[in-house]
Amino acid sequence: MSHKEKVILLSGPTGSGKSDLAIKLAKLLDGEIINSDSIQVYKDFEILSSRPKKKDIKKIKHHLYGIKSAKSQFTTGDWLKIVKKKIDDCFKRKKIPILVGGTGLYFKALTDGLIIIPKIPLYLRNEIRKVQKKIGQKNFYKKLLKLDPLVKLKINSNDVQRSIRAYEIKKFTGKSITKLKKNTKPIFEEKIFKKIFLDIPRPILHKKINLRVEKMFKEGAVKEVKKILRAKSKKELSSYKTIGFREIELYLNNLISINEAKEKIKIKTRQYAKRQFTWSRGHMKSWNKIFFENNSILLEKVVSLTS
């Protein structure tokens, strides 16, 4: 591997302007953009996921956007396998890979490695999630510690996602996630990563989120959900947890008004952004955090950190 090879990782909360920044960065550095968002991989959710527009894709080569049907499962392991090939391909063509998205687990898998475990059946995953939701995180965490005491110092009691994952693994494989992690190795050297997390004042972010939701409806979010519903896929698939899908479905069934649907989506999106901030504090301590109130000097800051 050449010392000149580098991979730019660009993360941040939903609505922070990652996609637009990535295009400017790619133009400047002769790079290509690789999707690191777990919803934007699905072709069915073009509007709800705020996928890059065709005009943007024509300007700069984009990878892994809209590559899967919402009817299929697409795991972090699936993404990691494909993204490794895309990064290697960029290196061969002397292009800089710029990975953009808000899915923290994707980035963690890339930089730290991913635990190799058998595929856990969907029925079991759904069953465990139902239990967590029914008894609440506090009681679920106690239940996890009884099943796997080794996670006590490794997983925060408030971390819902990691608690559920640890429970799934122990229940299905009989092995503790902590022991599996010891045998996990990253696929690239740490030194090649230039890691950037975009921070933004909450009031500004909330305003951007509100505008985005209004724009989604103008672009045809309702029509998009209608089309997906006609496909009659299994609702337990992770893709159907996309923010906006359930809310628009309620509107289409005359259970809430269109304004109520919009408001619910705005609230859920703000809550999601908050979780992304929380994830960054816990799992992205080595990342460069850029706090900004406007985009005027953002590109300059990012370029200086990636050189």
What does the DSSP assignment read for 150-161?
A: GGTTTS-TT-HH
- Residue 35 CA, chain-centre distance (Å), reads 9
CATH numeric code, 122-182: 1.10.20.140
Q: Quick check: do 7-115+192-201+283-306 and 122-182 share a fold?
A: no
Across 22-38, average pLDDT: 96
Q: How far apart are CA 221 and CA 47, in angstroms?
A: 6
CB 180 within 8 A of CB 151: no
Provide the 10 A C-beta neighbour count for residue 133: 12
Residue 33 scores a pLDDT above 80: yes
Model pLDDT, residue 4: 64
User: 24: helix, coil or strand?
Assistant: helix
- Token pair 């809430």 is found at 256
Q: What is the mean pLDDT of the chain?
A: 92
Model pLDDT, residue 296: 74
Which residues does residue 42 pair with via DSSP β-bridges, in sequence order? 68
The pLDDT tens digits for 168-179 are: 999 999 999 988
Report the candidate in 26, 94, 21 with the shortest Cα–Cα distance to residue 58.
26
Model pLDDT, residue 233: 64
Helix axis angle, 76-92 to 104-112, nearest 10°: 60
Model pLDDT, residue 236: 60
Report residue 288's pLDDT band, with 50, 70 and 90 as the boundaries. Answer: very high
CB 45 within 8 A of CB 243: no
Is 3.55.40.20 the CATH number for 204-274? no
Report the candidate in 10, 6, 17 with the shortest Cα–Cα distance to residue 36.
10
Report residue 307's pLDDT band, with 50, 70 and 90 as the boundaries. Answer: confident
Across 135-155, average pLDDT: 94
Model pLDDT, residue 234: 58
What does the DSSP assignment read for 70-133?
A: TTS---HHHHHHHHHHHHHHHHHTT-EEEEE-S-HHHHHHHHH-----PPPPHHHHHHHHHHHH
Model pLDDT, residue 3: 41
Domain definitions of the chain by residue range = 7-115+192-201+283-306, 122-182, 204-274
Residue ranges of alpha helices (H) inside 42-75 are 54-59
DSSP code of residue 143: H
Model pLDDT, residue 1: 42
User: 221: helix, coil or strand?
Assistant: helix
Report residue 279's pLDDT band, with 50, 70 and 90 as the boundaries. Answer: very high
The pLDDT tens digits for 172-198 are: 999 999 888 877 888 899 999 999 999
**Range of weakest confidence among 118-132, 234-248, 261-275:** 234-248
Report residue 10's pLDDT band, with 50, 70 and 90 as the boundaries. Answer: very high
Across 121-145, average pLDDT: 95
pTM of the predicted protein model:
0.84
Percent of the chain clearing pLDDT 70 (strictly above): 97
Neighbouring residues of 249: CB distance < 8 A, sequence distance ≥ 6: 225, 229
Which residues does residue 97 pair with via DSSP β-bridges, in sequence order? 32
Neighbouring residues of 101: CB distance < 8 A, sequence distance ≥ 6: 10, 11, 18, 35, 36, 37, 38, 40, 107
Is 3.40.50.300 the CATH number for 7-115+192-201+283-306? yes
Across 282-296, average pLDDT: 88
